[in-house]
Amino acid sequence: MLTLSIKTNEVKCLKASIKYEAWCWHMRFGHLNFGALKSLGDENMIKEIPHINHPNQLCKACLLGKHARSFSKEAKSRENESLQLVHIDMCDAILHLEDLSVFLETKI
C-alpha cells in the first residue's frame, strides 16, 4: 500500500457527491440497467434503493461499452513475399509422435 503525504494549511473534508441516488445504485451494481434497478426496488428486494421514475437512462460508461468498433473496409496484407505467412495444423503431428524430442532446440 502506498501512502500519500499531503500538506495543507487548512483541514478539509472531501466527499464525492452524486446528485441522484439512483445513479449511485446504478454504479454500485456494476452499471446495471435502470429497468432492472426499478424492478429490484418495486419488488422490495433492496429496501434502500430509491424509486426510479425514468428507467431508460444511460450513463457515459454504458454508452462507451455499447459503442461499436469501426473497422477498415480493405484488409491489409501482412506478408510481402510468397510463403511468408503459412498456417499449419501442428496438433495432428503431435498426436502421432511418440518422442517429443524433435521439438527441442539444440545448441552447437
> Tens digits of per-residue pLDDT, 49-63?
888 877 677 788 888
Residue 16 lies in a domain: no
pLDDT of residue 89: 66
Per the structure, the count of domains in the chain is 1
pLDDT at 31 over 60: yes
Residue 54 lies in a domain: yes
pLDDT of residue 46: 82
Residue 29 lies in a domain: yes
Which among 21, 16, 30, 31 has a CA at the least distance from the CA of 53? Answer: 21
For residues 42 and 100, give the distance between their C-alpha atoms in angstroms, rounded to a whole number.
63
Q: 50: Cβ–Cβ under 8 A, 6 or more apart, which residues?
A: 21, 22, 25, 41
pLDDT of residue 100: 63
Ranges 6-10, 17-21, 64-68, 99-103, most confident: 64-68
Note down the domain range covering 39: 21-66
Mean pLDDT of the chain: 74
Residue 93 lies in a domain: no
